[in-house]
Amino acid sequence: MLACRGIRLIKGNTLTSPSPAFGVLLVNLGTPDEPTPKAVKRFLKQFLSDPRVVDLSPWLWQPILQGIILNTRPKKVAKLYQSVWTEQGSPLMVISEQQAQKLATDLSATFNQTIPVELGMSYGNPSIESGFTKLKAQGAERIVVLPLYPQYSCSTVASVFDAVAHYLTRVRDIPELRFNKQYFDHEAYIAALAHSVKRHWKIHGQADKLILSFHGIPLRYATEGDPYPEQCRTTAKLLAQALGLTDGQWQVCFQSRFGKEEWLTPYADELLADLPRQGVKSVNVICPAFATDCLETLEEISIGAKETFLHAGGEAYHFIPCLNDDELHIELLRLLVQEQTQSWISAE
């Protein structure tokens, strides 16, 4: 063993950091800079031009995007953003910053040394490139890229990988990298979700059914090999097991459908409109595919889907917030980083 470069366990759980120093790039989807049609248009233009998100031929898609969608959707969606926007900014950004800060504190205590954690968003600001630049400026020569998507999808995680690869094409001295592809079945992820559901039940009571609403993707992406729906179903099964739920007490659905193509089913809005007719009068709704509350959870699920359910005859609807900056969530993120740094440690 090379004595000067190895990681050591010192007193209790504190580790010495591997050398050269490492940093963490925490990645999420991104959000508009402001809740205005102009800023939403800028954001949607970048997001919806990514072929990982919409894989149609640009010759076909760009005229639809530029000619129709970007002329109508920003105004409508800006209003939705306004309904969830906070004094500090977009919920996704505010919470992501809290996550980065808490993870840095946790990692620095664990490794007994300052470990920089920076945010990088796939679309909008701060960009993935700026995250790398900030980490480099803080001396990090090794980077753990941690996309905040528990379930892998080509439309999210692969686009993060593309952005990382694109950044690397433009630097002379590339950093050493570890890329966390997924954590849909990680014990600490399931434990954090279970804890959050139980905490909610303690306050609001347990409803007839736990609805697990995952972000949807076009069905075609799955039939062409995207493992996302299978991973969602595994997460759901593991969570139901951890909570001791029987088959009739939980159900998976998929939200945030976009465009005319068929997406993963059942659709969240249709399911929630139908449940009261099946005799399900109260629901708890959790969104396990989102690490951070955002427009899609706070507006679509916490507000919109609630109206749908109550309007259809439901009596009680309780949304369970995302893991956000929960202690167990930060612990999970720290464990994922530690697992990724293992190979650096054992190689020394």
Ligand X SMILES: C=CC1=C(C)c2cc3[nH]c(cc4nc(cc5[nH]c(cc1n2)c(C)c5CCC(=O)O)C(CCC(=O)O)=C4C)c(C)c3C=C
Of 6, 49, 62, 73, which lies in the binding site for ligand X, with binding defined by CB under 6 A? 73
> Can residue 27 be called a binding residue for ligand X (CB under 6 A)?
no
Site map (CB under 6 A) of ligand X, residues 228-247, x = contact: x-------------------
Site map (CB under 6 A) of ligand X, residues 95-124, x = contact: ------------------------------
> Can residue 194 be called a binding residue for ligand X (CB under 6 A)?
no
**Residue 60 carries which side chain, given as an amino acid letter?**
L
What residues between 129 and 158 interact with ligand X by CB under 6 A?
149, 153, 155-156
Find where tokens 């999808």 sit: 153
Site map (CB under 6 A) of ligand X, residues 162-191, x = contact: ------------------------------
Interface with Fe ion by CB under 5 A: which range of 106-114, 160-168, 222-230, 250-258? 250-258
- Residue-wise over 40-51: b if at least 16 C-beta within 10 A, else e? bbbbbeebbbbe
> Can residue 54 be called a binding residue for ligand X (CB under 6 A)?
yes
> Can residue 217 be called a binding residue for ligand X (CB under 6 A)?
yes
Nearer to Fe ion, 194 or 323 (CB): 323
Q: Are 321 and 286 in contact (CB under 8 A)?
A: no
Residue 305 contacts by C-beta under 8 Å, 6 or more apart in sequence? Answer: 213, 255, 268, 269, 272, 285, 317
> CA dihedral defined by 69, 72, 74, 77, rounded to 10 degrees?
-100
Nearer to Fe ion, 297 or 340 (CB): 297
How many positions of this chain bind Fe ion (CB under 5 A)? 1
How many positions of this chain bind ligand X (CB under 6 A)? 24
Site map (CB under 5 A) of Fe ion, residues 128-167, x = contact: ----------------------------------------
Residue 319's H or E segment, with its range, is strand 316-320
- Dist. CA 132–CA 152, nearest whole Å: 22
> Can residue 90 be called a binding residue for Fe ion (CB under 5 A)?
no
Of 96, 151, 251, 256, which lies in the binding site for Fe ion, with binding defined by CB under 5 A? 256
- According to DSSP, residue 156 is labeled T
Residue nearest to Fe ion (CB): 256
Residue 97's H or E segment, with its range, is helix 91-111
Residue 9 contacts by C-beta under 8 Å, 6 or more apart in sequence? Answer: 15
Site map (CB under 6 A) of ligand X, residues 250-269, x = contact: ------x-x-----------
DSSP output for 173-224: SPPEEEE----TT-HHHHHHHHHHHHHHHHHH---SEEEEEEEP-BHHHHHT
Nearer to ligand X, 53 or 301 (CB): 53
> Can residue 296 be called a binding residue for ligand X (CB under 6 A)?
yes
Largest distance between two CA atoms of the chain? 68
Q: Strand pairing partners for 30?
A: none
Q: Interface residues with ligand X (CB under 6 A)?
A: 29, 31, 44, 48, 53-54, 73, 77, 90, 92, 149, 153, 155-156, 215, 217, 228, 256, 258, 289-290, 294-296
Q: Interface residues with Fe ion (CB under 5 A)?
A: 256
